[in-house]
Each structure stands twice: as structure tokens, then as C-alpha cells.
Structure 1
Amino acid sequence: MKNVYDIRHEKNLLYILSPNGDSDEKETVSENIYAKTAVIFYLYYLHTLSVYLPYVDGVSKDIDIYIISSRKEVLEAVRTHLNQSGRKRVQYILKENRGRDVSALLVEGAEIIKPYKYICFLHDKQARNAKVKQDTDLWIENLWGNLMGGSDYVANVLRMFEENRRLGILAPPEPVGDNFCTWYGYGWHKSYSVTRELADMLQLNTDLSPDKPPITIGTALWFRRQSLQKLFDFGWRYGDFDDGKLRYQDYLSYGIERIFAYVAQDAGFDTGTVMTVDYARKQTNYLQYSTSILFSEAKRFFPVPCISDLKAYKINKEKLLRFAGKNRNLYLYGAGEMGRFCFFLLREANLFPQGFLVSGRDGGSMVCGLAVTSIQDKKECLDCAVIVTAFEERIRNEMVKNLKDRGFYNYLVFWGD
């Protein structure tokens, strides 16, 4: 069984949909599919309703809407707004002020979802402080715009589910932003252990690994009811949630928002990512720029320039550590970027070379606190082990020839085949 993160990549379960539709696209959504679809909104903040009501207005009037809040004034404000638009298929639910959006979905939503085939769940958000407000605003656009981008967009989302019967969930992409690290593979945020406990409690047959980040963040998603039925059947109660623990990253709610794709996998369904064309443009632009900054700065400490080299690095690192672990009188051939890189990899594993070797007569200096010796001056070679550190093939070959010419046969080429 593969991890959901890898499955999404290998199957290319990334859907970039137009917010508009034409008649041909609409015809592919069966006439009664809207009757089998529900949208659940959890709204808490009265002062930000103006941000979210346009998304609510964009839902087709043939789709049932459920507005859930723990605040009467929010429900009344939404009711007043929707009554003015003449919308009929709306229910308003006052929930207990406990568990926030997660209990809105799992406690109140457990009965709501039963007659439906497809459900969308969304909730409002508020920035924790001014520093992250711009990133949070982009995240709100990510969650709401990519899941509820207008009636034609929703028709396109439903068409994706109808055309791909193995598709169980469509979630917005992992958030990007100057203060967010989730997109770069850090989506667990110390919540892996509670997610693992939750998976065991639900007896999920799934691949859950701390080395593979989750692909649902923020409790916002479209889902096929069948794909998450096991999660809803658990019988959640308000007493399961303690909002005082929300400041801890290993709290239950943070595990639940990350568990959706694994529940779907257990039920035999895939999880994909969906976004609008406009958001995809913004995200691509941001990631292109930020990735360039990251790699440029990281090159000082991690001189691996592309993804294929990153994959090769893992194999080469294991090879390096095995060789160094067997040889104590160890030297690194090359004192440049890759030489220093190898030194830090060894030091991290509590393996310490004797020094650096270089070609020509450039010895006599110090690098990383170790002496640099010219290979021409290195006479004692019978018990020496050498790691050739060069990245460029031509230089590696020259180094190997220099070693053999001087009787060094116990060596390892760190990089290369």
C-alpha cells in the first residue's frame, strides 16, 4: 500500500478547474446530482461575514445549504442576507460552543450528510496576529475560492467526482505564504502522533508515515460520503473536544483535519487537490519565486541543485555512512563545497575524518578545523580510506586516477553511479 501523498503525485490527482462553465460541461452533470449534494458552512466571526457571504451566494439554488454556528447573531445575520436573495434550501443550526469547526462537521454533520452523495464543508478563519494576516487572507482564498468558486465551478467539481468513481476527496492545496511552511513538506506540525492514534482508534488500513506529509489541512474539503463514512460512524460527541487544548499541536482536532485522506484510502478511495485557474496562477508564481530563494540560500550548506540530485543524495548518503563506519583512518578528497558537505554529514553521524586531501600542492591550510594535505605529500596510504567528494564527473575521474597512481585503493566515490 502506498502513501496518499505519493498516490496523489503518481496519479496526478491535481485538478485546475475553470470558474466558468459552458453548456457542454453542464450537460455532463446529471440533473438530479444537485439533489444529492449539500454544502455545510460553519461560521463564527460576525465581523468577517462579508468575506464569506459572496461564496455562499455563489452556491447553486438547487443545492441544499446548512449554516452552522455557535452564535445566534451570526445565524440571524446570515438568515437575513439569504432571505433577501430569495434562497429557500437553507437550514440554520445553533451548535454547542465546543469543538469549533471540527465538531460542526463530525457532531452536527453526522446526521446532515446521510441522504447526500457529495458534501462540501467550509469554515471561516481569522488571523492570529497582524504578522500572518496577509498569509491568512491568501489561505482563506485558497480554502473558499478553490472549493466554492461559483455555481459553474461547483458543477465542474461534481463532474470530477462523477467521472472518477475512485475519487473520494477533493481538498484545496496546502497553504503557501511567507510565514507558512506546510507546502514545503512540514504539514504534520507535531500532529503526527495524534493522527497516528486516531488512525489506530478507527482501525484504518492505510499507510501513515511521519516522512510523508498529510494532504488535507484546515478541515475544508469536498468529499464523497461513502469515502468518510467510517469517520462519521465513530459517534463523535461534543464532550470529545476540549478547546483549551487547541494551543497544543498534538490536540485531537489537528489529527482529525489530517486524517481525511487516510480514512478515504481505507474505504478504497483516492484524495486529490482542486484549485481555480486564478489561484493556480498565484500559487505557481509564489512557489517559483520562493523555491529560487530557498535553493539559492541552501546551496551554501546543501550543494544539490535539482530534484533528481536530491533523490540520488539519499542513496549516496547511505553509501557514505556505511563506508565511513568501516574505516577509521579516513580522509576526504576535495575541500570544496561537496567536501565540506560530506564532512558535515559524517559529523552528524558522529564519524570524524582525519583531514582533507587536495590535488596539486595546495595543502597546509585548515578547513572545518581539519588539516588540508596535498595528495602529492601523502605518503602513508596502506591503512588510509579516502572518500572522493567531487560532484563533477570529470573531476571525480581525475581524483580516482590520482589515487590509483599513488597506491590508494581503499576509496569510495561519494557522488555518481
Structure 2
Amino acid sequence: MENIFDTYFNNKLYFVLSEDGCSVDKMVRHDVAIIVHLFYEDMADYYLAKLSEYARYFDVYVITPKKTIEEKAKKSDLNAVLKDIRGRDISAFLVAAKDIHSHYKYVCFTHDKKEHSESPEEGVALWRQSLWSNVAASTDYIFNVISCFENNYDIGVLSVPEPIGYEWTIWGKNLWLNNRKVTRELFRKLDIDADFDENKPPLTIGTSFWFRTDALKKLLDYPWKYEDFPEEPMPLDSTISHAIERAIAFVAQDAGYKTGIISCKQYAKEQLLFYSKCFGDIMSTMMDCRLFPNYSSFCDYKQKMRLQIMINRAKEIYIYGAGKIGHQTYDMLKWRGYPLKGFVVSDKNDNEDSCIEVGQLREMVEDVDYLVIVATSEKYKGEIEDTLNEYGVMKYIYYKDLGKLLGY
């Protein structure tokens, strides 16, 4: 199974859509719902004014824990649902809106956003722009989102691009943060088959996206309750809410759909200009400091660092393949003092008592930082990768890559 980010990147599933003019049959609007979670009373008027425009064409639902916002929404002739504050936008999506999704083919879910004392105001404003403008920039834009779905039957989710701004650092780091374990637990709960690679981004950060209801059926049909979510004040990380936020594209993939990114033209222009300047400044500095002569050398360095981190973290190392290459790799690592646990094979023969079948490995390393070194002929590489992915063994590298890193 291909990782969701690789599918997105390799298929170029980044769609820049116009805010003006659309070609889709507007009768499709009866299959569309826009669901918005509003929390901040001082920003409610801004969002409600926009939503009132869209309500002329689509069914709009405002979900809020604030009575004042509920009353304002009803006065604007919008559907309003009062919810428990617990779970914030995620419980709005999965608990308060549970009976809404099934009536529609396409649904937009988004929410308001406000800077906190520790957040840069300009940066949050740019993020708010991404969360809102890239799902609901205008009525025509919304119809163009629907057209994107109608013309791409394998697309199940369309999420927003990352925010831009000089103060944002999270998108330059690992987007999983401390949410790997809780996301794996969620996958098991929903019976989601996924290529979980912590070195690749999850695509859906921010809980602002469009989706086909068929694509997220496993998530939507689960009997979520407010009590499933942490009480306020909600922790900043490692909660079921953070896991669900990151799991959206994986749920869609499990249902047979791909996830893409949508952007309005204005935001795409700003993002391209911002990245061009940032990339140019960074590369210029790296070359001036003689760190990397070009981008390719930087990528090589990054790959070596990733492998080094995986090796250093591993408390147990297994060699996949008990042939000549496998034994040579085992002897080399043993001589260097690495924590080797044994050999892994696809099917164990009678004379391989010391080997572990790959089907047993997942259970053995469930709660351990492990690493599998694939040490077989190149012609078996794809077959072995499929086998490891099938059994949920995601932390593996190839012996040739290891050799480049360790110099053997």
C-alpha cells in the first residue's frame, strides 16, 4: 500500500480552483452541505455573513457551544445546532453533526480560528485565511470544488494547504508531533489498514476540508460520544482529537479514495511567492556557509540523518533475510555493537529455528522502538516491501542504504 503523501505527490493532486465562474451543473447543490463550527463570539458576525450568502445555494449548518451564536445563526435563517464544548471542532464534526452527513454526497467541514496570547497574530490570520478561503472562498469556488470531485471519482477528500507566514515553524518539522501512538490506536479502533510513515506528513492538519461521505464512512459510522474527547482545557497534543485530525486521509484511503489539496487562486499565488522567496533565501545561506552546494546534496544529507535517527532510536534490530547478504549484514552490525534480535523470514523452514516469521514480528515489536534491515537480493525488494506493509511493519530500511550510511 502506498503512503497517502506519496499518492498525493506522485499524482500531483494539488488543485488550484477559481473563485469566479464555474462549469458544474448547479443542480448538484442538493447533494452538498457546509458544516461550520463557530466558537468565538467576537468573530461570529464575519462568518455568519458569509454563510448566509452560501445558504442561498447550499444547506448550511452552524454548530456551536455558545447560545448567543446559535441565536444569531437562527436569525440569519441558518440551521443551528447547540453542542457540548467538550471535543471542540472534532466533536462538532463527529457527534453534533452525526445525523447530518448521511443526507449528502459532498460535505465541507471547517471552523473559526483565533490567535492566542502565545501565537503571532499575523501568522494566525494567514492560517485562518487558509482554513476558510481554500474551502469556501466564494459561491463559484464551492461549485468548482464540487466539479473537482465530479471530475475525479477517485478523490475522497480535498484538504487545505499548509499556512504561510514567517512565524510558522510546525510545517517545517514533523507534523506528527507526539501523536503517533494515539493515531495507531485510532487505526486499530476503526480497523484502518494504513502505511503509517512518521517521516511523511498526514495531509490533513487543521480540520478544514471537503469530503465524499462514502470516503469517511468508517469514521462517521463509529458511535462517537462527547465523553470520548478530553475535558477542557484540552491538552495541546496527544489526544484523540489530534489523532482524528491526522487520520482523515488514511480513512479515505482505506475506503479506496485518494486525498488532494485545494487552493483558491489568490492563496496559491501568495503561497508560491512566499515559498520562492523562502527557498531562495535558505539555499543562498546554505551555499554561502558551504553547507550544501545544491538541493540534491541537501536531500542526501537529510536521508542519511533520517536513517541515522532510526538506527539510534532502535532498541531491537531485525534482519529480514537469512541468506548470505543477511548474515553478512548481521555480522557487521553485531561487530559494531547494535542491538540485534535475530532474523526475519517470510516462511520459516525446519532448519531455521532461530528465525522469526514476519507475521509474528508485528506482535513482538508492538511497544518497542524497532528497525528491520531488509538484506535480500534487489529483485525481491518490492515483494518484501508489500509483505512488511501487509503485516503493519513500517520501520524498515535496505541494507544498501545502511551501507552508504555506515561506510561498508
Give me the TM-score of the superposition, normalised by structure 2.
0.71
Describe the SS at the equivalent of 1:62: coil
**Which residue of 2 is the match for residue 369 of structure 1?**
none
Q: Deviations over 1:89-142 (max 9, x none)?
A: x32111112111100000122211011000001111111126511100100110
Q: Which runs of 5+ in 2 are unaligned?
A: 309-335, 338-402
> Closer, same or farther in 2 for the Cα pair 1:148/1:319, shift >3 Å?
closer
Q: 1:284-315, CA deviations, whole angstroms, 9 ceiling, x for partnerless residues?
A: 12212222333344557782344433444467
Q: 1:185 to 1:274 in 2, by over 3 A?
A: farther
1: CA distance between counterparts of 2:195 and 2:16?
Answer: 27
Aligned to 1:35: 30
Task: Pick closer, same or farther for the CA change 1:253–1:315 going to 2, 3 Å.
Answer: closer
> Quick check: 211-220 or 56-65, which moved more?
56-65
* Pair 1:117 & 2:112 matched: no
One-letter amino acid of the counterpart of residue 169, structure 2: C
Instruction: Say which of 72, 75, 81 aligns to 2:67.
Output: 72
Displacement of 1:149 after TM fit? 0.9
1:5 aligns with 2:5: yes
Instruction: State the Cα distance separating 1:30 from its structure 2 match.
Output: 3.1
3-state DSSP class of the match of 1:115? coil
Measured after TM superposition, the shift of residue 250 of structure 1 is 0.8
Which is further off, 59-68 or 157-166?
59-68
> 1:185·1:213 contact (CA, 8 Å) conserved in 2?
no
Partner of 2:359: none
- Which residue pairs with 1:165 in the alignment? 153
Return the letter of the residue paired with 1:134.
E
Q: Distance in 1 between matches of 2:294 and 2:72?
A: 52
Please say if 1:203 is aligned against 2:191: yes
Query: Matched residues in 2 for 1:187 and 1:319: separation?
Result: 18
Where do residues 343-358 of structure 1 align in structure 2 (5 Å cutoff)?
Answer: none
Structure 2 distance, partners of 1:131, 1:2, is 35
Q: Report the alpha carbon displacement of residue 245 of structure 1 after superposing the two structures with TM.
A: 6.2
Aligned to 2:141: 153
Structure 1, unpaired ranges of 5+? 84-89, 321-348, 351-411
Q: C-alpha separation between the residues in 1 aligned to 2:212 and 2:67?
A: 30
TM-aligned CA distance change 1:292 to 1:159, over 3 Å: same
Structure-1 residue corresponding to 2:344? none
| Equivalence for 1:140 | 128
Note the alpha carbon deviations across 1:207-256, whole angstroms, 9 max, x for none. 11111111101111100000001001111000101134622411111111
User: In structure 2, what is the equivalent of residue 186 of structure 1?
Assistant: 174
Deviation at 1:317, TM superposition (A): 7.6
* Correspondences of 1:299-314 after superposition (within 5 Å): 303-313=291-301
State which of 245, 269, 283 in structure 2 corresponds to 1:295.
283
Q: How does 1:40-59 map to 2 (within 5 A)?
A: 40-59=35-54
State whether structure 2 residue 241 is matched by structure 1 residue 253: yes
Change (3 A) 1:317 1:293: same
Q: Which moved more, 1:59-68 or 1:166-175?
A: 59-68
- Post-superposition CA distance 1:171-226 (Å, at most 9, x none): 11022222322333521122222112211221111111111111101111100000
| Structure 2 match to 1:406 | none
What is the DSSP-based 3-state SS (H/G/I as helix, E as strand, rest coil) of the residue aligned with 2:156? strand
**Cα–Cα, structure 1 residues 110 and 308, in superposed 2: closer, same or farther, change >3 Å?**
same
Over 3 Å counting, the alpha-carbon distance change for 1:319 and 1:182 in structure 2 is: closer
One-letter amino acid matched to 2:61: Y
- Partners of 1:204 and 1:269 in 2: how far apart? 13
Offset of 1:316 from its aligned partner?
A: 7.2
Q: Which amino acid in structure 2 is aligned with residue 2 of structure 1? A: E
Secondary structure at the aligned position of 1:33 is classed as helix
Measured at CA, do residues 300 and 151 of structure 1 come closer, stay the same or move farther in structure 2, by a change above 3 Å? same
If you compute each CA radius of gyration, which structure gives the higher value, 1 or 2? 1
In the other structure, the counterpart of 1:14 is 14
Name the CA shift for 1:209/1:132 in 2 (closer, same or farther; >3 Å). same
8 Å contact from structure 1 (residues 261, 271) kept in 2: yes
Residues 318 and 260 of structure 1: is their aligned pair in 2 closer, same or farther, counting only changes over 3 Å? closer
* Cα distance change on mapping 1:292 and 1:78 into 2, 3 Å: same
Deviation at 1:261, TM superposition (A): 0.3
Which amino acid in 2 is paired with 1:73? T
Cα 1:273/1:209, change in 2 over 3 Å: same
Q: Residues 95 and 297 from structure 1, CA distance in 2 versus in 1: closer, same or farther, beyond 3 angstroms?
A: same
CA distance, structure 2, for counterparts of residue 276 and residue 319 of structure 1: 37
Q: Aligned-pair distance for 1:318? A: 10
* 1:62 to 1:181, Cα distance in 2 relative to 1, 3 A: same
* 1:62-107 Cα deviation digits (max 9, x unpaired): 3111111111101112333x24xxxxxx321111121111000001
In structure 2, do the counterparts of structure 1 residues 318 and 117 end up closer, same or farther at CA, with 3 Å as the change threshold?
closer
Q: Assess, with a 3 A threshold, how the Cα gap between structure 1 residues 175 and 413 changes in structure 2: closer, same or farther.
A: closer
Partners in 1 of 2:207 and 2:181 — Cα distance? Answer: 18
Residue 262 of structure 2 corresponds to: 274
Flag the 1:187–1:301 CA change in 2: closer, same or farther, 3 A.
Answer: farther
What SS does the aligned partner of 2:19 have? Answer: coil
Could you say if the C-alpha distance between residues 236 and 296 of structure 1 is closer, same or farther in structure 2, counting changes exceeding 3 Å?
same
SS in structure 1 opposite 2:147?
helix
Contact 2:101 2:107 in 1 (8 A): yes
Structure-2 change in CA distance of 1:288 and 1:314 (3 Å): closer
**Structure 2: how far apart are the matches of 1:170 and 1:319?**
32
Cross-structure match for 2:225: 237
User: Do the aligned partners of 1:67 and 1:91 also contact (CA within 8 Å) in 2?
Assistant: yes
CA distance in 2, matches of 1:304, 1:102: 42
Quote the RMSD (CA, aligned, Å): 2.8
Distance (whole Å) between structure 2 residues aligned to residue 273 and residue 179 of structure 1: 22
Q: Is the 8 A contact 1:60 1:151 kept in 2?
A: no
Give the whole-Å Cα distance in 1 for the aligned partners of 2:155 and 2:271. Answer: 24
Contact 2:37/2:110, CA 8 A, preserved across alignment? yes
How many pairs are equivalent? 315
